[in-house]
């Protein structure tokens, strides 16, 4: 059973038994994580909360939520599996991930003062709403544009030039640490530079969830203040919308906020780790809204881009890091740009504190400490060499025209691996194999692909060669 599916079914039943405030605060704000099978035929649904008081409430013995949960889970599992299961909740507090930005919740300058519901005029009803300032370093001119992000970069610039016109919303999606937030905030910084009075708001999805739950807790005036603050933005930027998954009540409010902003032709920019239709637990109406503007993907930077990012950083900070040090770091760190910057900052730190020039050896020892190893580039000649040694044939055999099985199979395997492990094109591979035609390479690759599925010995041989190549 999938934890999100189970939690959604339980929530559906809990919603009928709980008032609106309790539902939004104690139920809808939880995130399902995993299902654990217990020895006594029961299961535990693990959930997390970003609010310590919510987790405490669930952990209190005899609390009303756990009792209702168990009953609702019986109903939910019966409708999902045809038989009821005893499901226990386990709610753990997870400290909210701090944003990199300076949060300044006390600043109410952009909000109208509204009295709180408890009549205490010193507490402003909108004071609790997150105010995040933009990182001044996240600008278009500090972002290295390359094949992996060019489309996102161009559309982001178009949005910054003419917000609320054509690409609304702009959704930037891709893996962690690849520059989504940087590009999104570049739009905000560019808009503010041109129009300082524009109402630009950057928040994480977590901020939105926290603000909305807090507004509900405080009462109708705070809820009004929340709506006024969010719905009156000229440019709303929301980071990591995948965290809306499975949170119905919050999705409903997000949907209304989204509609209010786009109705006024104001701009929304979103980031996500995947396309909305691939986010489980995101309502269809949000999936279609998020996809109605432009969705731009950012992928992992290749080696030349990684070098360019580090070079750019070194130049911007006047650091004079030698090229061979930059090459060493860029070759070893291929996970994402955040990791790349992490290693770079360590190297710079070492250089500043030891007041010595940084060398490739320094970079290597830092890389090793941080568990990054330089990847050996796999080339077609390296593959030929490894395959020839493995099958005890010569490189000339692989490049020649002999048709006996002892030679043909290793040759086809070498071509198959060249296709899989290098960026070389079919004609380039053909040329390296003694000037063969690209159709020969294609045919060999297809033949091995087919045979691997049926022949266990061949599968093992290819696996062993792959391991030797990665040593």
8 Å CB contact between 229 and 108: no
Q: Does 236 bind ligand ATP (CB under 6 A)?
A: no
Is 247 a known ligand-binding residue?
no
Choose one: 23-31, 56-64, 172-180, 227-235; the region binding ligand ATP (CB under 6 A). Answer: 172-180
Q: Does 177 bind ligand ATP (CB under 6 A)?
A: yes
| Residue ranges in 110-149 that form contacts with ligand ATP under rule CB under 6 A | 143-144, 149
Residue 122 structure tokens: 């010193």
Q: Does 430 bind ligand ATP (CB under 6 A)?
A: no
Q: Does 96 bind ligand ATP (CB under 6 A)?
A: no
Query: Which residue, 49 or 242, has its beta carbon nearer to ligand ATP?
Result: 242
Query: Which residue, 116 or 336, has its beta carbon nearer to ligand ATP?
Result: 336
Is 227 a known ligand-binding residue?
no
Choose one: 56-64, 175-183, 186-194, 348-356; the region binding ligand ATP (CB under 6 A). Answer: 175-183
Q: Does 178 bind ligand ATP (CB under 6 A)?
A: yes
Shortest Å distance, C-beta 283 to ligand ATP: 22
Shortest Å distance, C-beta 161 to ligand ATP: 20
In the set 49, 66, 127, 181, which binds ligand ATP (CB under 6 A)? 181
Shortest Å distance, C-beta 30 to ligand ATP: 22
Shortest Å distance, C-beta 54 to ligand ATP: 24
* Residue with smallest beta-carbon separation from ligand ATP: 179
| Residue ranges in 306-365 that form contacts with ligand ATP under rule CB under 6 A | 309, 337-338, 341
Is 405 a known ligand-binding residue?
no
Q: Does 377 bind ligand ATP (CB under 6 A)?
A: no
Shortest Å distance, C-beta 464 to ligand ATP: 37
Question: Residues marked as binding for ATP?
Answer: 177, 179-181
Question: Residues marked as binding?
Answer: 177, 179-181
């Amino acid at each position: 059973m999938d934890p999100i599916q189970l939690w959604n079914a339980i929530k559906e039943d809990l919603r009928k038994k709980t008032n609106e405030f309790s539902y939004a605060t104690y139920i809808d704000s939880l995130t399902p994580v995993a299902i654990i099978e217990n020895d006594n035929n029961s299961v535990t649904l693990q959930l997390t909360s970003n609010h310590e008081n919510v987790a405490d409430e669930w952990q209190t013995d005899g609390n009303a939520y756990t009792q209702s949960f168990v009953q609702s889970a019986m109903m939910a599992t019966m409708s999902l599996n045809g038989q009821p299961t005893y499901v226990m909740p386990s709610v753990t507090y997870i400290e909210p991930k701090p944003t990199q930005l300076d949060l300044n919740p006390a600043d109410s300058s952009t909000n109208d003062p509204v009295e709180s519901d408890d009549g205490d005029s010193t507490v402003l009803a909108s004071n609790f709403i997150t105010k995040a300032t933009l990182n001044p370093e996240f600008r278009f001119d500090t972002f290295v544009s390359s094949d992996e992000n060019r489309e996102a970069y161009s559309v982001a610039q178009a949005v910054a030039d003419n917000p609320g016109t054509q690409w609304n919303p702009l959704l930037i999606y891709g893996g962690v640490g690849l520059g989504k937030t940087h590009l999104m905030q570049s739009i905000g910084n560019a808009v503010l530079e041109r129009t300082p009075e524009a109402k630009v708001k950057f928040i994480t999805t977590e901020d939105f969830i926290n603000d909305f739950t807090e507004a509900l807790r405080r009462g109708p005036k705070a809820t009004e203040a929340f709506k006024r603050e969010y719905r009156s933005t000229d440019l709303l930027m929301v980071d990591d919308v995948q965290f809306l998954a499975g949170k119905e009540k919050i999705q409903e409010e997000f949907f209304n906020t989204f509609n209010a902003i786009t109705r006024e032709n104001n701009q929304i920019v979103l980031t996500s780790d995947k396309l909305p239709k691939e986010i489980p637990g995101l309502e269809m109406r949000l999936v279609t809204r998020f996809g109605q503007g432009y969705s731009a993907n950012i992928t992992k930077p290749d080696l030349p881009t990684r070098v360019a990012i580090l070079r750019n950083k070194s130049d911007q900070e006047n650091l004079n890091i030698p090229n061979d040090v930059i090459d060493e770091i860029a070759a070893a760190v291929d996970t994402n740009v955040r990791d790349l910057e992490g290693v770079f900052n360590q190297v710079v730190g070492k250089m500043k504190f030891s007041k010595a020039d940084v060398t490739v050896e320094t970079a290597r020892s830092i890389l090793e400490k941080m568990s990054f190893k330089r990847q050996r580039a796999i080339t077609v000649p390296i593959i030929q060499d490894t395959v020839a040694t493995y099958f005890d044939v010569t490189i000339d055999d692989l490049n020649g025209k002999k048709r006996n099985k002892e030679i043909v199979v290793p040759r086809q395997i070498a071509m198959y691996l060249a296709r899989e492990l290098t960026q070389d094109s079919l004609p380039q591979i053909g040329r390296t194999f003694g000037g063969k035609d690209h159709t020969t390479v294609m045919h060999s690759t297809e033949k091995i692909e087919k045979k691997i599925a049926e022949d266990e010995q061949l599968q093992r041989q290819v696996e062993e060669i792959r391991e030797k190549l990665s040593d």
